[in-house]
Amino acid sequence: MSFLYPTFLYALAAIAIPIIIHLFNFRRHKTVLFSSIKYLRNIKKETKAKSQLKHFLILLARILAVAALVFAFARPYLPVAGDVDSASEEIVSIYVDNSFSMDAENKFGNMFEVGKSKIPQIIDAFRPDTRFLLSTNDFDNKHNQFVSRDQLMDFVSELQLSPTSRKLSEVLTKLSDFAGRNENSKIDRQRAFVISDFQKTSSDFDHIESRDGSEVILVPLATQQTTNMYVDSCWFESPGRKYNHVEELFAKIVNNSDEVYNNTPIKLFINDSLKFLGSFTIKAQSEEVVKLSYTNTHKGIINGRIEISDYPVTYDNLFYFSYKVAQQLSILSISDKGENKFVKALFGDDDYFDISQNAGNNINFSLFPRYHLIIISSLKDISSGLVQEIEKYIANGGSVLFFPSIDGNLNSYNQLFAKMACNEILALDTNKTKVSRIDFDNPVFDDAFRKRDPEIDLPEVFAHFLFESRTRTNDEIILTTIDGHSFLSKTSYGKGSFYVSAVPLDNESSDFARHPVFVPAVYNMAFNSQGNTNLYYSIGNLENVQLNVQGSQENQLLHITDLSGLFDFIPEKQLGQSTFGINLAGEIHTAGNYQVKSDDQALLGLSINYDRKESNLDYFSNKELKDLIETHSLSSFSILEGQQQQITESIKEFNQGRQLWKLFLIFALAFILLEVLLIRWMK
């Protein structure tokens, strides 16, 4: 047994008081005359013995009462994990999980509010001079200091839910590292209280290690199963967006409950206009992909959102996305002849396309980023400089369509193909053949055919180049000849696409340029060249958003604003060769649609959603937490259990051992009562 305040034991000297009273009985004796005591002599002897016993028992009761009272004030306890010096200095770290999953309900109410209410009970279990460190998922700089209990309660009153989600290992590492590097932290004990719902997606016990001199006390919040359905993600199957074109957006809905949802409404808004209203049915503990169809009736930045209705968790009922439909598609044609009549005939009469035609010896490489698609045809030789510029252009999201020349320099062609990691040219085949197979699933032929007819008429080939057939390339064969050779292929490189034709763009090698298949193929290449920019980002993954450079925008000041214009900040910009990135970490905390602006011109839509990891409301039970602690040998970890009103005493048992002062106080009262009974009833 140890004492929290051992100096109180000096008060045991008070035991001398009842002893002195017993030895020096200050009662006044009164003489009573009596005729004869001969017959009372035996009774007197017996009464005297009883009187001495009575006084001795009263003395003993008084001594024990005083001793028990002194012990109670000295705060005795039984240490749980060895004796601890009561004069040692310690700090207490308190982490409060303020992620969105804490917005659920348990039997005591809102879990976040319940978690905050535990903090005063925790600090009441420690000495007044104890220093406290508060931490949340935000890792707020103002919390990076040791504070008194009054300052701590001021911080607690300001706590709010946050969209940021942290792994448990990340939180504990931060707390331990901060305490270790603090120059004033010459401490003897470190305690870390973790107040959380211990959501399975963030409680990574397999990445946690016990640290010497540090104890971690888990404070699980009593949870009850919460049903939740949410929009997990969305995507388009085709890469390019087209003006006045029917789009099909796919939304993934997740039902994380044991209930079946029938005919649940779902809405799609495009630029705040309702474009789709439908319903879906989803089974328990399952996923459902819903197709949302609408027509693109606007150019420029398109801001969209998907809505469903689900309670009580509502933050994940909205899902934001955005993309850009180009005001005009810019196409560059490079040819030794300067002008290609097929390219001009295909795009020249459409105002939506801006066509530039350059000779092979008059190319301005600096203008490449301005173009959505570059078409290379009838170019007999490709210089090493052009190879490097094409590689850089495609890697940064550009698209190139390459038509070889029948008498071209194959070595220079293969130099480009080697850079693109695609199959190289072997030889020229002058045997007549025909295209026999078409990949209808390829985006190049998106919506090009009303039905997939295997007997469809395809181009005839009079001379074509043969390619290697290496299996380690990522070539996608779009059109195939009867003998199995590639006629038109696509290779993905970096963020862009490289299309290669096996025939020149002329009438002598094939009728491809005059065939109906040619038009939708090249048109879709142009539309799909608008870039595969992210439809959305998640809070917590905003460190680097890549933007394509156009003109001199890399030198301009950028702003991130919301659609209302009330939110505006200047992001950190990271310049590259043909792209630049912006770092948004820690700046955006609210889901919604934003814009990247330069000189009041909107360059890009930026849609931010809350991290869906918080939507999976599966928690570890107390028993599972104990098993995890044992499985991963976390000897410095323990779990604080008990009812809400018993938390302070439970913490004191962790902090100081089993408290015995109440027991000794009961003993003191019992001995006082015994004394009263002895005086009154023992004759």
pLDDT in tens, 91-125: 789 999 999 888 888 788 888 999 999 999 888 88
Tell me: pLDDT of 26 over 60: no
Across 53-57, 288-292, 362-366, the highest mean pLDDT is recorded for: 288-292
Percent of the chain residues topping a pLDDT of 90: 37
Rounded alpha-carbon distances, angstroms, from residue 507 to 348, 359, 459, 463, 515: 19, 20, 11, 11, 10
Tokens at 78, concatenated: 């039984």
The percent of the chain in helix, strand and coil, each rounded to the nearest 5, is 30, 30, 40
Across 57-66, 76-85, 187-196, 536-545, the highest mean pLDDT is recorded for: 57-66
Question: Quick one: pLDDT at residue 87?
Answer: 45
Tell me: pLDDT of 85 over 60: no
Under the banding of pLDDT at 50, 70 and 90, the label for residue 551 is: very low
Please give the residue that has the higher pLDDT: either 647 or 168: 168
Coil/strand/helix, residue 325: strand
Tokens at 625, concatenated: 């937490």
CA–CA gap between residue 214 and residue 638 (Å, rounded): 12
CATH annotation of 229-326: 2.60.40.10
Which of these, 323, 303, 321, lies nearest to 242 by C-alpha position?
Answer: 323
Under the banding of pLDDT at 50, 70 and 90, the label for residue 609 is: very high
CA–CA gap between residue 344 and residue 333 (Å, rounded): 9
C-alpha gyration radius of the chain: 41
Tell me: pLDDT of 683 over 90: no
Coil/strand/helix, residue 443: helix
CA–CA gap between residue 261 and residue 263 (Å, rounded): 7
Domain with CATH 2.60.40.10 in the chain: 229-326, 537-609
CATH annotation of 90-224+623-640: 3.40.50.410
Question: Quick one: pLDDT at residue 396?
Answer: 83
In this structure, of 204-208, 593-597, 598-602, the range with the lowest mean pLDDT score is 598-602
Number of other residues whose CB lies within 10 A of the CB of residue 77: 22
Percent of the chain residues topping a pLDDT of 70: 84
Q: Where are the alpha helices (DSSP H) in 74-134?
A: 111-123
CA–CA gap between residue 580 and residue 553 (Å, rounded): 9
CA–CA gap between residue 16 and residue 23 (Å, rounded): 10
Please give the residue that has the higher pLDDT: either 31 or 535: 535
Fold of the CATH domain 329-528: Rossmann fold (3.40.50)
pTM across the whole model: 0.73
Task: Identify each DSSP E strand in 504-600 by its residue range.
Answer: 537-538, 545-548, 558-562, 568-569, 572-575, 579-583, 592-598
> Beta strand pairing status for 131-135 and 90-96?
parallel
Tell me: pLDDT of 219 over 80: yes
Question: Quick one: pLDDT at residue 46?
Answer: 55
In this structure, of 102-111, 181-190, 443-452, 537-546, the range with the lowest mean pLDDT score is 181-190
Tell me: pLDDT of 27 over 90: no
Under the banding of pLDDT at 50, 70 and 90, the label for residue 529 is: confident
Question: Quick one: pLDDT at residue 14?
Answer: 82
Which of these, 296, 311, 407, 408, lies nearest to 352 by C-alpha position?
Answer: 296
Phi, psi of 577 (to 5 degrees): -75, -50
Cis omega (within 30 of 0) for bond into 220: no
Question: Quick one: pLDDT at residue 549?
Answer: 46
Q: Which amino acid is at 418?
A: A
Tell me: pLDDT of 349 over 90: no
Question: Quick one: pLDDT at residue 448?
Answer: 73
In this structure, of 15-29, 294-308, 337-351, 365-379, the range with the lowest mean pLDDT score is 15-29
Tell me: pLDDT of 591 over 60: yes
CA–CA gap between residue 182 and residue 210 (Å, rounded): 20
Angle made by CA atoms 414, 418, 419, in degrees to the nearest 5:
120
- pLDDT tens per residue across span 156-191: 999 999 888 889 999 998 888 776 665 454 555 678
Q: Averaged over 341-353, what is the pLDDT?
A: 87
Please give the residue that has the higher pLDDT: either 680 or 66: 66
Question: Quick one: pLDDT at residue 499?
Answer: 96
Tell me: pLDDT of 429 over 90: yes
Domain with CATH 3.40.50.410 in the chain: 90-224+623-640
Question: Quick one: pLDDT at residue 60?
Answer: 87
Give CA 290 to chain center in angstroms: 25
Coil/strand/helix, residue 484: coil
CA–CA gap between residue 149 and residue 279 (Å, rounded): 53
Question: Quick one: pLDDT at residue 627?
Answer: 93
Q: Averaged over 371-399, what is the pLDDT?
A: 91
Please give the residue that has the higher pLDDT: either 442 or 302: 302
In this structure, of 122-126, 132-136, 232-236, 385-389, the range with the lowest mean pLDDT score is 122-126
Tokens at 133, concatenated: 């460190």
Fold of the CATH domain 537-609: Immunoglobulin-like (2.60.40)
> Beta strand pairing status for 353-359 and 329-335?
parallel
- pLDDT tens per residue across span 87-100: 456 678 999 999 98
Tokens at 408, concatenated: 């071209």
Q: Whole-number mean pLDDT of the chain?
A: 84
Rounded alpha-carbon distances, angstroms, from residue 207 to 190, 620, 632: 20, 16, 9
Tokens at 470, concatenated: 């290496």
Give CA 9 to chain center in angstroms: 54
> Beta strand pairing status for 601-609 and 592-598?
antiparallel
CA–CA gap between residue 397 and residue 492 (Å, rounded): 10
Domain with CATH 3.40.50.880 in the chain: 329-528
Q: Averaged over 624-633, what is the pLDDT?
A: 91
